Amino acid sequence: AQKVTQAQTEISVVEKEDVTLDCVYETRDTTYYLFWYKQPPSGELVFLIRRNSFDEQNEISGRYSWNFQKSTSSFNFTITASQVVDSAVYFCALSGYGNNRLAFGKGNQVVVIP
């Protein structure tokens, strides 16, 4: 079974500060896929990034970056120079190769204070 843990429940930062969200996962699959989703106050769920288990290269996309480390089963997500519009709940999610079940963590509530 897949399991995703997001330990931090609410994180408050002042605008322009960086914020890093931690995600730890458990899976027995050797091939799996990791995702981050954003849920703004309006309620919709928006796909942000995806990573395959066989690709540990960390990347930056605009103000978003992620740090994938298989050795520690972590898939952390960073927002650089946060803005008020980044205020949302961020979900880490995992799916295994053998099934389509996407397991979500409990989410991190990010509050960016102007």
Partner 1 sequence: DAGVIQSPRHEVTEMGQEVTLRCKPISGHNSLFWYRQTMMRGLELLIYFNNNVPIDDSGMPEDRFSAKMPNASFSTLKIQPSEPRDSAVYFCASSFNGRDSPLHFGNGTRLTVT
Binding site for partner 1 (CB under 8 A): 33, 35, 37, 43-47, 50, 52, 91, 95, 97, 99-107
Indicate the residue type of 30.
Answer: T
The token pair that represents 43 in the structure block = 């309620």
Q: Are 37 and 93 in contact (CB under 8 A)?
A: yes
- CB nearer partner 1, residue 61 or residue 100: 100
CB of residue 104 to partner 1, shortest distance in Å: 4
- CB nearer partner 1, residue 66 or residue 91: 91
CB of residue 35 to partner 1, shortest distance in Å: 6
Residue 84 three-state SS: helix
C-alpha span between 103 and 25 (Å, rounded): 10
The token pair that represents 113 in the structure block = 């204070």
- CB nearer partner 1, residue 82 or residue 107: 107
- CB nearer partner 1, residue 82 or residue 95: 95
The residue among 21, 29, 41, 44 whose CA lies nearest residue 103 is 29
CB of residue 90 to partner 1, shortest distance in Å: 12
Residue 79 three-state SS: strand
CB of residue 106 to partner 1, shortest distance in Å: 5
